[in-house]
């Protein structure tokens, strides 16, 4: 019996963002084992949980540090005593350059051009600090990053800047979501990403730019990219909860999804329809995997609900359709597995951690802005 079915919901106001602690701990342990098998370090992305209590469990399972997407995440983890922090976003514009210089002693950043690096070099030199960076490589996502063929030329330019120091190379293989429906092609592409990043590191090393860190990072790619020769670390984030998107991509089973929104039926006045109290402000339907609807409905015990579909949202209302609406009554409880775990986290200021015996604890979600 799943933990959420053991919980007494009679006094719990809905909607509420929950995490099944046993499932999360299983995801943490299984991923730590994958990285141990690959012989590669794990620096999970904090954006998925934004929760110190979750990060502590990841660290206890061997995470060497954390990847962050914003200064706020870096600040929260630093204040909580975490080390080995990587801010994996281009630090451009007011506030961010100052932040990098202030945090230089405990932070590695990423850059993908001279234009990004020059203001940091100037500020670091003026402050008398050295900022460590990874050169961001575009291995196919087409977002930030230098194309592999241009990496050496860009690094040769960066080398002329004082106050900054190369620590390695990084890529985010977000393009793997494009292999929806063909998991073996996804795995081959993931291994290829790792190999191409390692080849860039080798080319830079041969030219005198030593790359101690060769960092890949994604949940779809965590069983492939870290296994390529020369990769030193991986940065999956979503794995800690998994979500509907990762289920569709073949990264997990629905039964491994640890985060969900518990919701109540609030209106059943029309045949073939029911309304719940969880809408677009309760969860992210952001879909990298062409998932339909607003989320996947399951019962409190995690069993599937195949005769109900979550078809649409208003802000605080969810629209359910399907033959199962006939049996629903006002007050009935359901759970929604979000399509996108990380976007859902960012909508909540706390989560309800549900322990295996059903007892619950509130854990703060931090660094949202
Ligand atoms: C730079 C970077 N690293 C790691 C990750 C983690 O990837 P995933 O969400 O697939 O776990 C992301 C996700 O967006 C990212 O942008």
Answer for the pair 190, 173: CB distance below 8 angstroms, yes or no: yes
For atom 8 of ligand 1, the residue with the nearest CA is 218
Ligand 1 nearest atom to the CA of residue 48, by list position: 9
Strands 131-136 and 164-170, sheet pairing: parallel
Is the model's pLDDT at 1 over the cut of 90?
A: no
Residue 255, token pair as written in the block? 């039964």
The Cα angle at residue 234 between residues 233 and 240, in degrees rounded to 5: 140
Query: Best of 112, 145, 169, 174 to mutate for ligand 1, by most ligand atoms within 8 A of CB?
Result: 174
Ligand 1 nearest atom to the CA of residue 217, by list position: 4
The tens digit of pLDDT for each residue in 229-253 reads: 999 999 999 999 999 999 999 999 9
The alpha carbon of 171 and the centre of ligand 1 are apart by a number of angstroms equal to 9
Residues in contact with ligand 1 by the CB-under-6-Å rule are: 45, 67, 88, 172, 217-219, 235-238
Give me the chain's average pLDDT, please: 97
**Average confidence (pLDDT) over 104-118:** 98
Question: How does residue 360 score in pLDDT terms, banded at 50, 70 and 90?
Answer: very high
The alpha carbon of 163 and the centre of ligand 1 are apart by a number of angstroms equal to 28
The pLDDT value given to residue 286: 81
141 sits in the region (left: phi over 0; alpha: psi -120 to 50; else beta) called: alpha
The tens digit of pLDDT for each residue in 139-170 reads: 999 999 999 999 999 999 999 999 999 999 99
The pLDDT value given to residue 312: 96
The alpha carbon of 1 and the centre of ligand 1 are apart by a number of angstroms equal to 32
The tens digit of pLDDT for each residue in 125-144 reads: 999 999 999 999 999 999 99
For atom 16 of ligand 1, the residue with the nearest CA is 172
The tens digit of pLDDT for each residue in 179-235 reads: 999 999 999 999 999 999 999 999 999 999 999 999 999 999 999 999 999 999 999
Domains of the chain: 9-18+252-364 (2.40.37.20), 22-240 (3.20.20.10)
Residue 99, token pair as written in the block? 């932040």
Task: Please give the full DSSP string across 37-86, using - where no structure is assigned.
Answer: HHT-EE--BGGGT--HHHHHHHHHTT---EEESSHHHHHHHHHTT--SEE
Query: Best of 58, 237, 242, 289 to mutate for ligand 1, by most ligand atoms within 8 A of CB?
Result: 237
The alpha carbon of 236 and the centre of ligand 1 are apart by a number of angstroms equal to 6
């Amino acid at each position: 019996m799943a933990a959420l079915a053991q919980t007494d919901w009679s006094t719990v106001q809905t909607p509420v963002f929950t995490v099944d602690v046993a499932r999360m701990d299983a995801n943490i342990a299984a991923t730590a084992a994958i990285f141990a098998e690959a012989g590669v370090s794990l620096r999970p992305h904090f954006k998925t949980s934004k929760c110190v209590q979750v990060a502590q469990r990841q660290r206890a399972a061997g995470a060497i540090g954390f990847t962050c997407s914003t200064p706020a995440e870096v600040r929260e983890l630093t204040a909580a005593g975490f080390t080995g922090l990587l801010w994996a976003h281009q630090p451009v514009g007011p506030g961010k350059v100052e932040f990098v210089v202030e945090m230089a002693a405990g932070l590695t950043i990423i850059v993908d051009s001279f234009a990004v690096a020059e203001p940091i070099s100037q500020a670091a030199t003026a402050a008398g600090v050295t900022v460590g960076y990874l050169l961001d490589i575009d291995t196919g996502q087409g977002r930030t990053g230098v194309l592999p063929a241009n990496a050496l030329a860009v690094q040769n330019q960066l080398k002329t800047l004082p106050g900054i120091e190369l620590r390695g190379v990084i890529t985010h293989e977000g393009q793997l979501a494009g292999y929806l429906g063909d998991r073996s092609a996804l795995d081959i592409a993931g291994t290829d990403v790792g190999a191409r990043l390692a080849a860039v590191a080798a080319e830079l090393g041969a030219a005198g730019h030593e790359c101690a860190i060769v960092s890949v990072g994604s949940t779809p790619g965590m069983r492939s990219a870290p296994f390529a020769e020369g990769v030193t670390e991986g940065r999956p984030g979503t794995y800690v909860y998994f979500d509907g998107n990762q289920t569709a991509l073949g990264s997990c089973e629905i039964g491994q999804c640890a985060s969900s929104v518990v919701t109540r039926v609030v209106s059943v006045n029309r045949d073939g329809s029911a309304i719940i109290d969880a809408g677009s402000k309760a969860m992210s339907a952001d879909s990298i995997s062409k998932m339909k609807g607003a989320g996947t409905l399951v019962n409190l015990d995690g069993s599937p609900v195949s005769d109900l579909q979550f078809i649409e949202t208003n802000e605080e209302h969810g629209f359910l359709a399907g033959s199962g609406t006939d049996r629903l009554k006002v007050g009935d409880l359901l759970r929604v597995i979000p399509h996108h775990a990380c976007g859902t986290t960012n909508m909540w200021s706390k989560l309800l951690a549900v322990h295996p015996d059903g007892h619950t604890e509130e854990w703060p979600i931090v660094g949202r802005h």
